Structure 1
């Protein structure tokens, strides 16, 4: 089974992908591992597009079953086809932004609030994430882009909207997997 889980930053994609992986036994593949070159601090150096696409394509093509987490909607030239199931997660913006602020503090510590450069990067990230719903042009990853992409797919899709528990969401996804 080839499952793609995506949504806005802070919507729970990684949490749900890993939880589903633990239940189904399918490897969880995070698109961030291909989009970003490992660095310190992380998520600061984008991988070259052709290399990124080749690495991800090779990974998914080497497996019969997988769960791919993260938005690949705007990945020009990427050739991943025939999803068996696509899961779209949507969480209200206020909930997402609060989650992201907490996650950033847990990930990087208070330095993102004290150091002027790191604070600027943090605030730019939060503004980018908030633009998912506002679509003012800061972010290419928007609700509109995700909903438009969903309409192009020819596979089962589950849209899970709202601030429900991980358990409720996983149960809903598993029902769809079982129905396949």
Structure 2
């Protein structure tokens, strides 16, 4: 979509907040490429989410993928992956949802994909707002967002994907 002013968009938030769902839908609506950060963070293993790619390899792989497209939507947190990627976004969309809703979504997704949710993963995901465990946390995301030079659009609370996309389109029209 030539009139859309943003060509590299990151959708970020806690696990279960809908970053992948929104990212895929927005990329399809705009005719942009799509990348899920998890696909470049985790090695494909029989039991998923067990082995991480080396940080340098991870960055190189996602940058190579993004170069295939004129514009791209990246879902997931890329905090700490490297300035070449992190500073390349011209829009970041930050999703915030209540913990209870996120955990319900995670449990449903993990049950559908893997037959059940890993209790350790649910514990990790539940502490996002407090940031007691390593990895993603609200404080880490807020600090990362504060250091961005691009536009930031925040969504708090539950909304339909189509409604979020319309709000992104309206925001883009106002800022173009």
Per the normalisation by structure 1, the TM-score is: 0.88
CA RMSD after TM alignment = 1.4
Q: Is the CA contact 1:131–1:139 (under 8 Å) kept in the aligned structure 2? A: no
Q: Which residue of 2 aligns with 1:5?
A: 11
Is structure 2 residue 156 aligned with structure 1 residue 175? Answer: no
What residue is the counterpart of 2:151 in the other structure? 156
SS at structure 1 position matched to 2:84: coil
Contact 2:23 2:73 in 1 (8 A): yes
Equivalences for residues 30-49 of structure 1 within 5 A? 30-49=36-55
1:99 is matched with which residue: 99, 105, 115? 105
Instruction: Determine the structure 2 residue equivalent to 1:116.
Output: none
Query: What is the correspondence of 1:11-160 to structure 2 with a 5 Å cutoff?
Result: 11-75=17-81, 77=82, 79-80=84-85, 81-109=87-115, 112=116, 122-136=118-132, 138-160=133-155
Normalising by structure 2, we get a TM-score of: 0.89
Shift of 1:134: 2.1
Runs of 4+ in 1 over 6 A off after TM superposition: none
Structure 1, gaps ≥5 residues long: 113-118
For the residues of structure 2 that align with 1:23 and 1:162, how far apart are their CA atoms? 22
> What are the ranges of 5 or more consecutive residues in structure 2 without an aligned counterpart?
1-6
Aligned residues: 168
Higher helix proportion (structure 1 or 2)? 1
| 2:32/2:69 contact within 8 Å kept | no
